[in-house]
Amino acid sequence: MVVGGVPCSAFDTAASLTILLAAPGLMIRQPLKRAGSPLADCDYHAVAAPYRARFCTAAPGQQLRRGAAGRHIAKQAFCTALSELLSWIEQDPWAAWEAAADLAWKAFASDPGYAAQIASAARKVPAAVPLLAATA
């Protein structure tokens, strides 16, 4: 799957969500970077954008002030996006694979030289020869 322009697995996404939920404060990139998550380099603002409105409203009787002081809007929205993505994958595990396969097929089809490069690289991998011979 791709999250914010970064390819990652469902395991990486779940681990990133756990890290962010445990991390204090409003930072997103820093805790993910410390943990070595591939999502540290994703465009988390773009991922969070559709969910921001849920966290930008004031409670009844309170006035909404400018800025995000004390409110972790981007972090809450990003965590919500990751959570919904993971629940979507849990409901239909093949959907994430199909989307990735479709993107890969489009990339493969857009570059005719890609197939030749992959075939050439596969011939140079010595471990592949015994594996292919064993399965034939």
* Tens digits of residue pLDDT in 97-111: 776 677 677 777 777
Q: Which residue has the tokens 């570059």?
A: 111
* First-last CA distance in the chain: 32
Q: How many CA atoms lie within 13 A of 20 on its CB side?
A: 27
Each residue of 120-132: pLDDT tens digit? 776 665 554 444 4
pLDDT attached to residue 33: 96
Average pLDDT rounded to a whole number, residues 114-125: 70
Each residue of 50-99: pLDDT tens digit? 988 887 765 666 655 555 554 678 899 999 999 999 998 888 877 667 76
DSSP class of residue 31 equals H
Q: What is the DSSP string of 66-106?
A: SS-TT--HHHHHHHHHHHHHHHHHHH-HHHHHHHHHHHHHH
Measured distance CA(5)–CA(136) in Å, rounded = 38
pTM: 0.64
Three-state DSSP state, 21: helix
**pLDDT at 36 > cutoff 70:** yes
Number of residues that this document lists for the chain: 136
pLDDT attached to residue 22: 95
Measured distance CA(96)–CA(7) in Å, rounded = 12
C-beta of residue 53 within 8 angstroms of C-beta of residue 23: no
Q: Which residue has the higher pLDDT, 72 or 4?
A: 4
Measured distance CA(29)–CA(34) in Å, rounded = 9
